[in-house]
Amino acid sequence: MDSSKLNEWKDFCALVADNQTAIFQFAYRMTGNRDDAEDLVQESMIEAFRSFHAFRPGSRFNYWVYRIMTHNYIDRYRKRKRIDLVSLDEILIGSEPMELADYTSDPQEVLNRNTWSESVQNALNCLSVEFRTVIILCDAQGLSYEDASKILKCPVGTIRSRLHRARAQMRSLLQSDTEDCRR
C-alpha cells in the first residue's frame, strides 16, 4: 500500500472502530440472525472502503454505512426472492422427508427464545423490507425523518407514512406474539 492509501486505511479503521456497535446492531436488526449480520457487515465494509474516497469528512460515517448496508441488504433480499421456494406442507409421493436448516444453532439465540427481545426481533422479521428499514433507522438507531430520507433516498412524507404503518403492524404483531417470520 502506498502512503496515501495507508492514511486512508487508518482513517477508515478509526471511523469503523467508533461506530462498530451501531453498525453491527443495525445489521443484526435487519437480518435477524448473527451469521447473516456478519456477512452483511463484511460485504458492506469492503464496499465502504472501496468508495471511501467519496465519503465527506465531517459527515456521519455510520449514516453513510447504513446506506451501503441497506442497499446491500435489499439486493440480497431481491436475489433470495427469486429462489424457488418449496412448500413444506406438500407431501411429495415417493420422496424422503426434507431436512431443514436449524437457525437456532447459536446457543446465544437459543437462550433468547421466548424472551421479549426474541418477540421483538420476530415481529421485525415479519415486516416488509421497506417498513423494517424505516423503523430500525428511526426507532432503533434514533435517526430523524430527514436523515432517514437521505439514507433511503425518498421524501420525508414517505418516511412518515412508512413509519406510521410499520409501527401499527409491529403493534399488532407484538400483541399476537407472532412466530418467527425469518426469511
Partner 1 sequence: MRNNCSCEKYWGLLNDYADHRLSGRKREKVEYHLLFCTECKERLAGIREVKSAIISSPVPGSTDDFWANCYDKVLESQKPKVRTRRRLWKPVVGLSLAASCIGVVLLLTGLGRIVENSEIPDSDYMMQHASFASTQPLATRTHHVLLAEQCIEHSSEDNPSDPANGLKDPDEN
Per this entry, what is the length of the chain? Answer: 183
132 counts as binding partner 1 under rule CB under 8 A: no
| Interaction of residue 41 with partner 1, rule CB under 8 A | yes
Shortest distance, position 81 Cβ to partner 1, whole Å: 25
Residues touching partner 1: how many (CB under 8 A)?
Answer: 42
Report which of 163, 137, 154 is spatially closest to residue 60, judged by C-alpha positions: 137
Q: Which of 49, 55, 77, 103 touches partner 1 by CB under 8 A? A: 49
126 binds partner 1 (CB under 8 A): no
Per CB under 8 A, the list member of 14, 46, 92, 110 interacting with partner 1 is: 46
Q: Which of 25, 71, 76, 147 binds partner 1 (CB under 8 A)?
A: 25
Query: By CB under 8 A, is residue 139 in contact with partner 1?
Result: yes
Question: Which CA distances in Å does 143 have to 72, 81, 134, 136?
Answer: 20, 29, 9, 9
- Give CA–CA dist 160/142, Å, rounded: 14
Q: Between residues 18 and 81, which has the closer beta carbon with respect to partner 1?
A: 18
Conformational region of residue 58, where left means phi above 0, alpha means psi within -120 to 50, and beta covers everything else: left
Q: Which of 150, 174, 178, 181 binds partner 1 (CB under 8 A)?
A: 174
In the three-class reduction of DSSP (H, G, I as helix; E, B as strand; rest coil), residue 51 is classed as coil
Contact 156, 149 (CB under 8 A): yes
Establish if 81 lies at the interface with partner 1 (CB under 8 A): no
